[in-house]
Amino acid sequence: MFGSGPLSAASVGDNATLVAHYQRFVRHQGQGELVVKVAPNEAAEGRVEFWLTTEFLGEIDLQGISPEPDEVRSAGDRQIFVFLVDDPTCPLEVSISYFPNGLGRVSGGIGLVDGPDFSFNQLSYP
């Protein structure tokens, strides 16, 4: 059940807009990964913008984002990540690596700016 097996793998979102893949269970001080896939044609004016809740970002030690966003800005309880795209007909895939800060439940939200939003939960265990 714990670890990176099939019972741990989870996704939120919908294939028409945005999907986030993550592990339901992640070891405390073990590396977690959130893979965000934004569907083709979700770019506006050559930009894809999605957000994560500050609640989630406050519960993790962010290690890296690949590709790196061109801009990051705050908007209330959200951090918006902006990516410039050359071809808006191609999907965008972003990998976010992190370590959980504590033990227990880690809650978060993700969504497209001016689009749908989704909630997710992880359990950080010893």
In the chain, domain spans: 9-125
What pLDDT tens digit does each residue of the chain (126 aa) get?
445 555 689 999 999 999 999 999 999 889 999 999 999 989 999 999 999 999 999 999 999 999 999 999 999 999 999 999 999 899 999 999 999 998 999 999 999 999 999 999 999 999
pTM of the model: 0.91
Order of all β-strands in the sheet with 32-38: 9-14, 18-23, 32-38, 92-100, 60-66
**CA 102, CA 121: separation in Å to the nearest integer?**
14
9-125 under CATH 2.60.40.680, yes or no: yes
- β-sheet bridge partners, residue 105: 123
